[in-house]
Chains A and B, each alone.
Chain A
Amino acid sequence: MGKLQPLEGNLAVAEAMRQINPDLVAAYPITPSTEIVQTFAGFVADGKVDTNFVAVESEHSAMSACTAAAAAGGRVMNVTSANGLALMWEILYITASLRQPVILTVVNRALSGNINIHCDHSDTMGARDAGWLQLYAENVQESYDNLIQAVAIGERMDVRLPVMSCLDGFLVSHSYELLEVEEDEAVREWVGPYKPNKPLLDIENPYTMGPLDLYDFYMEHKRSQWEAYPGAKQAIIEEGKRFGDVFGREYGLMETLGLEDADIAVVAMSSAAGTAKDVVEKLRDEGIKAGLLKLRVFRPFPAEEIVAALSGCKAVCVMDRCASFGAASAPLYNEVAAAMYSMGQQVPMTNVIYGLGGRMLTPDDIESVYRELVTVADSGKIEQVCKWLGVRE
């Protein structure tokens, strides 16, 4: 049984990192995740962890050091946000391609320009094709729980992939919430000791990692990597259940509210989903059959599960905290719509882009989305697929 504690999202993540006690953290602090690195560096200085903390000169170096340390055979964690993640870009693909289970906390923040330090998902959505698994947290408790699970998921021998554990900048990272913090020993036992897979420091069994790989073999290696993700989806489900068995909070690929009989539904991720829950309850009190699909896992994308959950709806709106410039609609919508269409579900679907650069998302904003869905469900018609919500027009 854990202990109830009031903590900010950043402090809860730092606490989970202390309990996990990784072999190496190489990080370059950046707002709004600075506090995690600062707090964890304090744990290192105070001897509360055995971690080798490497103060690097850039995020590119941070992820390079992390990938190399993981290849050498250590449990490795890292922390970043926005432009820091962008500077890691080149190495992100290499970490995943080399199948190194580096665990990266991303405190979601808008990418420049103009420069902005507040929340949106343009950073991690941009990294969606890099091969990392991505978990998104609604609140402080989930930020803590997801990071612990990320270690177990990524390190499983049938997964061996890096994981991003994402939480909303400021909205969650700097919000104090009462959460259940588990005992150190319980967390360490649940995560288990690190089991290296073909560590490079095993000089008795040498091999070559990351060599030049041209048109004659590269595509077979990418095909092999592709095969890892269905297994990762199953692993996330299993570890979420195992976490629930021990700590009482079970996790899956998504959380749903009212979808059993919903006529209209919203798909959202992270803190926005928490606000949407209140709106669903309000609308249900009015007799409107509203539902919510809170997606926890964006990579691997749970296409079949999303289609099964939404197939009974008459109208769906997907909410993206990210714009894909030049695209017809935003990333989460694109993937949900492609999944629905390819599996024969012709439900009218709209897309809203909201909350860029920390723009406030109010319950009234979400209610307006549901009210419009009522109209779409009645008429079966969509006037404009992709709209901006909460912008001065």
Chain B
Amino acid sequence: MRVYPPDAKWHEMADAGIIPQPGNAMEYDVSGWRNTHPVRDDDTCIQCLFCWVYCPDNAIMVKDEKVVAFDTMHCKGCGICAQVCPADAITMEPGENMDEQ
């Protein structure tokens, strides 16, 4: 088991609230925290990767040194990516729903 299932009972988990399966943060779904979501305009984006550097989670997906999408499971909708974008290529839209972009 990589993570405890959401319905795990108190006596089915390790004492002291420890996580005996290290490195499982990627499996923790925080999409429910979001009430706004980022939208990136690929034409305006200058691929500086500031958003990738500043994202407090791992929600900026990069391939071949270029931003390709947001990770919908790990984006909390905090808006930091939009704040730090020097080209104003990212805007925060209302609502939690976001497509893989």
Select the residue from B4, B17, B19 with max chain A CB neighbours within 10 A: B17
* Smallest beta-carbon distance B30→chain A, Å: 10
Q: Is the CB of A224 within 8 A of B20?
A: no
Bound-complex Cα distance A228 to B11 (A): 12
Whether, in the assembled complex, B18 has its beta carbon less than 8 Å from a beta carbon of chain A, the answer is yes
B-side binding surface: helix, strand, loop or mixed? loop
Bound-complex Cα distance A99 to B19 (A): 14
Q: Is the CB of B19 within 8 A of A221?
A: no
Whether, in the assembled complex, A198 has its beta carbon less than 8 Å from a beta carbon of chain B, the answer is yes
Q: Restricting to B13-30, which residues have a CB under 8 Å from any CB of A?
A: 13-22
Whether, in the assembled complex, B1 has its beta carbon less than 8 Å from a beta carbon of chain A, the answer is no
Bound-complex Cα distance A217 to B22 (A): 17
Q: Is the CB of B17 within 8 A of A213?
A: yes
Task: Give the residues in chain B near A209, CB-CB below 8 Å.
Answer: 16, 18-19
Q: How many of A's residues come within 8 Å of B, CB to CB?
A: 23
Q: Is the CB of B9 within 8 A of A207?
A: no
Whether, in the assembled complex, A309 has its beta carbon less than 8 Å from a beta carbon of chain B, the answer is no
Task: Give the residues in chain A near B9, CB-CB below 8 Å.
Answer: 220
Do A198 and B18 contact each other (CB < 8 Å), given the known contacts A216-B6, A217-B4? yes
24 contacts between A and B (CB under 8 A): A98-B16, A98-B17, A98-B18, A160-B15, A160-B16, A207-B19, A207-B20, A207-B22, A208-B18, A208-B22, A213-B17, A216-B6, A217-B4, A217-B13, A218-B17, A220-B10, A220-B13, A221-B13, A221-B17, A224-B15, A225-B15, A225-B16, A227-B10, A228-B15
Interface residues of B (CB under 8 A from A): 4, 6, 8-11, 13-22
* A-B contacts besides A208-B18, A217-B13, A227-B10, 12 pairs, CB < 8 Å: A98-B16, A160-B15, A160-B16, A198-B18, A206-B22, A207-B20, A207-B21, A207-B22, A220-B10, A224-B10, A224-B15, A225-B16
